[in-house]
Amino acid sequence: MSEVNNAYLLKELQDQFAAFITQVDEPYGLLTIELDKEQILPVLSFLVKHPELQMQFLTDVCGMHFPDNKGKELATVYHVHSFTKNIRLRIKCYMSLDAPQIDSVTSLFGSANWQERETFDFFGIEFIGHPNLKRILNVDEMEYFPMRKEYPLEDQTRTDKDDTYFGR
Amino acid sequence: MENTVTNFDHTSEYTTLNLGPTHPATHGIFQNILTMDGEIIVEAEQTCGYIHRAFEKIAEHRPFYQITPLTDRLNYCSSPINNMGWHMTVEKLLGVQTPKRVDYMRIIIMELARIADHLICNSVIAVDCGALTGFTYVFQWREKIYDIYEEICGARLTTNVGRIGGLERDFSPACIAKIREFIQEYPKVLREFTSLVERNRIFMDRTVGVGPISVERALHYGFTGPNLRAAGLDYDVRVMNPYSSYQDFDFTIPVGVNGDTYDRFRVRQEEMWESLKLIKNALENLPEGKFFAEVPEFYLPPKEEVYKNMEALIWHFKIVMGETDVPVGEVYHSVEGGNGELGFYLVSDGGRAAYRLHFRRPCFIYYQAFPEMIKGSTLSDAIVTMSSMNVIAGELDA
Amino acid sequence: MSNIQVSPPPPGIEGSGFFATTFEKAVGLARANSIWPLPFATSCCGIEFMATMAANYDLARFGSERISFSPRQADLLMVTGTIAKKMGPVLRQVYLQMAEPRWVIAVGACASSGGIFDTYSVLQGIDKVIPVDVYVPGCPPRPEQLIDGILKIQELVKNEPLKRRESPEYKALLASYGIE
């Protein structure tokens, strides 16, 4: 048995999915791969079922928005964790603003349910196969995706705020 | 599982009950739409977002040091842990090594916060079972922890304690005296609270076997913290990925068996003992030295230096205006928060604010399992289950 | 003897065996010292409200022994914590369910003005949806501040004319919030 570390994890992934991994990085010791978004389910189920790694804990799912990154404006970021080997992996899947769709991983992890809903709520990323994809934190009537960079932070309906006091 | 009904009579008519968002029995703003068969819950659906405050959007507009007050308001029962977690995330990004004294001081503060968090959760479980006495009794001791916080940083609840690179000031002698007094007196109180509640027949009847979850389902739902440990898995960030010199200390992780409300209560109760032990050890072995790391570009210089010293003035200006250089990169750091793995995923583009900051909020993730846990139990059991899960509205909705 | 102070009676005419004052004053005195608060606790300030209720600060000393969790039986709506836009209609409904006379206290920066959360999702002060009597600043306010807020409310209650709730000014105030 070889030691389970980032190099081993990467080798295991490269053996199976080399064609779909576009970039590999290791910021602050956490292996990060960029993955073709079509492959998210196969990769995650491979990691879950892998006898050595057993990456069965989905720590986190979140979205990101890069307005200047043409064709790859939106991203979902997955953090998976193996409790048995104490190793983490970060997977990034980029997608374009025109087709913000990615497979839902709720079939593998129940915890992804709300996290994907939150990502949809904030970024408008649609998770295909999600059982109940609707807004979670914001009001249902909301028409935009507030965490996208073009939308402002502040409440636009405010009337009591004098801009001159804020140097604008 | 003796309290659970699994065979529903599908011919009977169901009632829809709207529990919340301002139901008196739920502590905080939670809405559950329950389908009831008499007193038995058939189905439940939670709604959340009633205090959604857009933390992550604010974080993209504020310099790093201004994000600390936001983390206060995530799990406001244990805000110092959140503060420290955030500082450690930024320190990881910057590559700052903190002196041992800082680490130990942080452990003391974080473990005090953990006691404060578990104290409120456990006493509220007792309140929901009808025992108000325990709550009023232990809340006095939460006040003692507030006193210590005040001595450390001047605030009670939303502490905003610490800085990137260390703490804003050293422990004063009065503060150390108060902590010593606390670790001396608190065991008595905790024992008394335990004897009031733990083997109480009514309390046990109301909690044993209520809202159980198996360890497999708990992992599936992304449980962390005391709730996962109550189900029987000893995952603790402090041990698995030690931060802030937790590896220097010897402590045990209490683990439950059934994952029911009683086990969650017991696990929290035992964790308070472990926290006390940690505080005691950290205080006894508190190393001498500085209470901040030597990072003038991020750690604010003392105010008197700013008035007298040109260099300090420049650093002060640069830090406050957010003009110091931050490395480009992404970092994930997690700490063991009051109710689980509290993670910070920070993406920096080198600017004065974070490009993206995502909080991994433990209760947002494990609250999903609530319908499964209360299915087939009575409404009153659902209330107890919810309070034993320690779902904090501020953290749930961010 | 302990240092308990008995609150002075309202001004009136006293003789042997009787004490006469205005009905308004007597009602005000009774109301002010038996306020039933409804804690509308949403976030951090709610924990400070719990601290105020608990043994150390003991809100019961000021006649607010009974915390009414039902809006129907409450006199004082204590909005403690952030009110998001999603929550606004709920808050308004709770206010409407309360019987007159009712008072509202906005506890903390968030309830008063939105506080540090000047964002798209947070209501910038509850006075956008319901009328407020007393604002308590702080993030969160200390229990002493909260008690001070309650005492301010007591002053208002004590001196409120009996006919205020029928007055055209009050009706106009409610109408400005769209409440009939």
Q: Whole-angstrom Cα distance, residue B381 to residue B129? A: 9
Chain B residue with minimal CA distance to A107? Answer: B220
The helix (run of H) or strand (run of E) holding residue A103 is strand A101-103
Q: Between chains, do C86 and A138 touch, taking CB under 8 Å as contact?
A: yes
Q: What's the confidence (pLDDT) of residue B1?
A: 43
Find tokens 């404006």 and name the residue. A73
CA distance A47 to chain B (A): 15
DSSP secondary structure letters along B22-85:
S-TTSSSS-EEEEEEETTEEEEEEEE--TT---HHHHHTTSBGGGTHHHHHTTSGGGHHHHHHH
Q: Between chains, do A156 and C120 touch, taking CB under 8 Å as contact?
A: yes
Domain ranges, ordered by start, for chain A: 6-152
Q: Whole-angstrom Cα distance, residue A2 to residue A85? A: 12
CATH superfamily ID and name for A6-152: NADH:ubiquinone oxidoreductase Nqo5 subunit (3.30.460.80)
Q: Whole-angstrom Cα distance, residue A56 to residue B195? A: 39
Report yes or no: B98 and B92 within 8 Å, Cβ to Cβ: no
Q: Which fold has domain C36-156?
A: Rossmann fold (3.40.50)
DSSP reduced 3-state for B268: helix
Omega into B242 within 30° of 0, i.e. cis?
no
Q: Whole-angstrom Cα distance, residue A139 to residue A2? A: 50
Q: What's the confidence (pLDDT) of residue B332?
A: 94
C128-166 pLDDT tens trace: 899 999 999 998 899 999 999 999 999 999 989 888 889
Q: Which residues of chain A have pLDDT under 70?
A: 1-2, 160-163, 165-168
Residue to mutate among B18, B23, B26, B29, with most C CBs inside 10 A, is B29
Predicted complex ipTM: 0.92
Domain ranges, ordered by start, for chain C: 36-156
CA distance A135 to chain C (A): 12
pLDDT at C77 over 60: yes
Q: What is the pLDDT along chain B (398 residues), one digit of tens a residue?
A: 445 555 655 667 888 988 878 877 777 788 899 999 888 999 999 888 888 999 999 999 888 888 999 998 888 989 999 999 999 999 999 999 999 999 999 999 999 999 999 999 999 999 888 888 888 888 888 999 999 999 999 899 888 898 888 898 899 999 999 999 999 999 999 999 999 898 989 999 999 999 999 999 999 999 999 999 999 999 999 999 999 999 999 999 999 999 999 999 999 999 999 999 999 999 999 999 999 998 888 888 888 889 999 999 999 998 888 778 889 999 999 999 988 999 999 999 988 888 999 999 999 999 999 999 999 999 989 999 999 998 988 888 88
Q: Between chains, do C124 and A160 touch, taking CB under 8 Å as contact?
A: yes
CATH superfamily ID and name for B55-397: Cytochrome-c3 Hydrogenase, chain B (1.10.645.10)
C87-113 pLDDT tens trace: 999 999 999 999 988 999 999 999 998
What letter would DSSP give residue C11? S
Dig out the tokens for B203 from the structure: 């309390």
| CB neighbours of residue A36 within 10 Å | 14
Alpha helices in C98-142 (DSSP H): 108-113
Provide, rounded to the nearest whole percent, the portion of chain C with pLDDT above 90: 38
Q: Whole-angstrom Cα distance, residue A44 to residue A109? A: 10
Largest CA distance in chain A: 67
Find tokens 């995330």 and name the residue. B89
Q: Whole-angstrom Cα distance, residue C136 to residue C106? A: 6
Pairing outcome for strands B15-19 and C13-15? unpaired
Dig out the tokens for A15 from the structure: 């053996």
Q: Between chains, do C121 and A137 touch, taking CB under 8 Å as contact?
A: yes
Phi-psi region of C141 (alpha: psi -120 to 50; beta: other; left: phi over 0): beta
CA distance C104 to chain A (A): 21
Q: What's the confidence (pLDDT) of residue B175?
A: 94
What letter would DSSP give residue C126? G
* C120 shares contact with chain A (CB less than 8 Å): yes
Give contacts of C43 with chain B, Cβ < 8 Å.
Answer: 28, 51, 73, 76, 393-394
Chain A residue with minimal CA distance to C89? Answer: A139
CA distance C112 to chain A (A): 13
Domain ranges, ordered by start, for chain B: 55-397
Q: What's the confidence (pLDDT) of residue B353?
A: 86
Q: What's the confidence (pLDDT) of residue B323?
A: 79
Q: Between chains, do A153 and C118 touch, taking CB under 8 Å as contact?
A: yes
Q: Between chains, do A138 and C122 touch, taking CB under 8 Å as contact?
A: no
Dig out the tokens for C157 from the structure: 């209650």
Find tokens 């979902």 and name the residue. A76
Phi-psi region of B255 (alpha: psi -120 to 50; beta: other; left: phi over 0): beta
Q: Whole-angstrom Cα distance, residue A95 to residue B233? A: 36
Report yes or no: B381 and B3 within 8 Å, Cβ to Cβ: yes
* A159 shares contact with chain B (CB less than 8 Å): no
Q: What's the confidence (pLDDT) of residue B4?
A: 55
* C118 shares contact with chain A (CB less than 8 Å): yes
* C146 shares contact with chain A (CB less than 8 Å): no
Residue B170 contacts by C-beta under 8 Å, 6 or more apart in sequence? B291
Q: Whole-angstrom Cα distance, residue C19 to residue B21? A: 48
Which sign, positive or negative, has the C-alpha torsion A37, A38, A41, A44?
negative
Give bridge partners of residue A76 from the DSSP assignment: A63, A93
